[in-house]
Structures are given as structure tokens and as C-alpha cells.
């Protein structure tokens, strides 16, 4: 019986290992876009949260828009050979993105409270307009 359990574990880990990794993963959308008036009514703490959420989405999507703008697109679905080197490069890219986001959030959490509220609102509006523009990205491909 132990051999059978081991074989099942091996099959399960093999299928997980063989699965294609999504080029874009993590948080890839925001719940709501805001007007300046809505943002003007929010506390600085709420604004900081929105700002950081938008950075996370941008970090997850923008560096990869030449490949995809939504999760679920894999190297295999794009016709990219899933070689050991390519898989390693994708994994390292994801790890670097995660590390960058974590260090950015750490910095923003310490420094952003000192920012001017109007500048913070302008940045959120800019990030949101950038994210809205992603919906029209495919128009640029034609």
C-alpha cells in the first residue's frame, strides 16, 4: 500500500510540474475606478490603500503586455517553447516582480504618508487611467 501512495504522490507532483505557468498572475484588476470628487472625500489612509493596490496591478501587467494583458496566457498558448531555460526565466521574472512589489510597498508604507494629498490623488487618477487604457490595448495591435 505504501508503494501505491507514493506512486500517486509522484503522479500528482509530476502533473503540477508539467503545467504551464501563466505569464501574468497575481492581482490583475481593481474593483472600482474613482472620480476626483470621490477621492477628495477619502482619508489619506484610504488613498494610500488605493495607491498601493493600483501599483500591484500595474506591476503584474505592464511589464508583460507584449505577451498578454490578462491571466491564463501561458508560454504554451503563445507558442513559446517550454524549455527548461524558458521556464526558469519566467519563474525568475515572477520572483523579481514579487520582490519589487514587496520592497515598493514597504517603501510606500513608510514614505507615502508624508506625500501631499493632492499629489496622491493625481497619482491614483493617473494609474486608473493607465489601467483603463489596457482595455483598449488590442486596438494598437491592428
Task: Examine the pLDDT at 113 and tell me if it is beyond 80.
Answer: yes
The predicted pLDDT at position 142 comes to 73
Task: Examine the pLDDT at 80 and tell me if it is beyond 50.
Answer: yes
The predicted pLDDT at position 85 comes to 96
The predicted pLDDT at position 67 comes to 86
Query: For residues 11-38, b (16+ Cβ closer than 10 Å) or e, as one string?
Result: eeeeeeeeebebbbeeebebeeebeeee
Return mean pLDDT, the chain.
85
Task: Examine the pLDDT at 18 and tell me if it is beyond 80.
Answer: no
pTM given for the model: 0.77
Q: Return all residues near 56 (Cβ < 8 A) that are at least 6 apart.
A: 26, 27, 101, 105
Q: What is the mean pLDDT of residues 104-131?
A: 95
Amino acid at each position: 500500500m505504501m508503494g501505491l501512495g507514493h506512486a500517486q504522490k509522484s503522479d500528482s507532483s509530476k502533473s503540477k510540474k508539467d503545467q504551464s505557468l501563466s505569464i501574468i498572475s497575481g492581482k490583475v484588476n481593481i474593483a472600482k475606478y474613482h472620480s476626483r470628487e470621490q477621492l477628495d472625500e477619502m482619508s489619506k489612509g484610504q488613498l494610500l490603500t488605493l495607491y498601493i493596490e493600483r501599483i500591484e496591478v500595474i506591476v503584474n501587467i505592464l511589464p508583460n503586455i507584449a505577451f498578454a494583458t490578462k491571466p491564463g496566457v501561458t508560454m504554451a498558448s503563445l507558442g513559446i517553447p517550454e524549455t527548461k531555460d524558458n521556464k526558469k526565466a519566467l519563474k525568475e521574472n515572477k520572483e523579481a516582480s514579487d520582490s519589487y512589489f514587496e520592497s515598493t510597498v514597504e517603501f510606500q508604507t513608510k514614505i507615502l504618508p508624508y506625500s501631499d494629498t493632492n499629489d496622491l490623488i493625481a497619482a491614483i487618477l493617473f494609474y486608473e487611467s493607465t489601467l483603463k487604457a489596457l482595455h483598449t490595448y488590442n486596438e494598437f495591435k491592428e
